[in-house]
Amino acid sequence: MKKLRIVPADTAINFIGRRFIVFAFSAALVMGSLGISFTNGLNLGIDFLGGILLEVKTADAKADIGKLRSDLGALGLGEVSLQEFGSPDVVLIRVQRQEGGDKAQQAAITVIRDALGAQISEYRRAETVGPTVGAELQESAMYAIGSAILAILVYIGFRFEWQFGVAAIIALIHDVLTTIGLFALFQLEFNLATVAAVLTIAGYSINDTVVVFDRVRENLRKYKKMPLTELFNLSINETLSRTTITSLTTLLALGALFVFGGEVISGFSIALIWGIVIGTYSSIALAVPVLLYLDIDRGTGDENPAESLEAAG
pLDDT tens digits along 21-51: 999 999 999 999 999 999 988 887 777 777 7
- Percentage of the chain modeled with pLDDT above 90: 26
> To the nearest whole number, what is the mean pLDDT of the chain?
83
Task: Find out whether 287 and 212 touch, Cβ atoms under 8 Å.
Answer: yes
Task: Find out whether 173 and 153 touch, Cβ atoms under 8 Å.
Answer: no
Q: pLDDT tens digits, residue range 80-135?
A: 778 888 788 888 888 877 777 778 888 888 888 888 888 888 888 888 776 655 67
CA–CA gap between residue 218 and residue 199 (Å, rounded): 29
Q: pLDDT tens digits, residue range 135-165?
A: 777 788 888 888 888 888 788 878 778 888 8
Q: Is the pLDDT of residue 310 over 70?
A: no
- The whole-number pLDDT of residue 309 equals 40
Q: Is the pLDDT of residue 214 over 80?
A: yes
Domains of the chain: 16-43+134-312 (1.20.1640.10), 51-129 (3.30.70.3400)
Task: Find out whether 175 and 282 touch, Cβ atoms under 8 Å.
Answer: yes
Tell me the pLDDT band of 52, cut-offs 50, 70 and 90: confident
Q: What angle do CA 199, 94, 63 make, to 5 degrees?
A: 110
Measured N-to-C along each axis, helices 192-222 and 162-186 cross at an angle, to the nearest 10 degrees, of 150
- Percentage of the chain modeled with pLDDT above 70: 88
